[in-house]
Amino acid sequence: MLWESELAQLDKHNWHFLHPNHVPPDGESFAQVMTRLAPVINEYADQNTVLVTHGMVIRALLGLALGMTADQSLSINIAPLSLTELSYMKSGSSDVAANGGQWQLNYLNRAY
């Protein structure tokens, strides 16, 4: 149990959000999470899928879908209990040839 005097001495920074290569004890860095999820994002391009997960995974998937670096992806604020929607536009409906199409962010942090 922490006492009020001890709380003031704790580091106020959450390094996981500031450094994508920081590895917490018995965990993986945000950059490693993005690497692990990279093959997964395109598996769902042709499917209607609902994914219920933590904010870090949403940040990573958004970053991958939108071509962001790990540093840039960490700047995305994911609100608790919110909805985020992506759509995949196949290459026939997009001028962007990457991955045969392009992900589009329809909404972020929508609350009902």
Is the per-residue pLDDT at 21 higher than 50?
Answer: yes
pLDDT band at residue 15 under the 50/70/90 scheme:
low
Question: In this structure, which topology does domain 14-110 adopt according to CATH?
Answer: Rossmann fold (3.40.50)
pTM: 0.77
Q: What percent of the chain has pLDDT over 90?
A: 54
- Cα(35)–Cα(29) distance, rounded to whole angstroms? 10
Q: Read off the tokens for 81.
A: 């209990």
Distances (CA, A) of 7 to 10, 16, 21, 24, 44: 5, 19, 26, 20, 43
Domain boundaries, the chain: 14-110
pLDDT band at residue 31 under the 50/70/90 scheme:
very high
Q: What is the pLDDT of residues 61-71, one digit of tens each?
A: 999 999 999 99
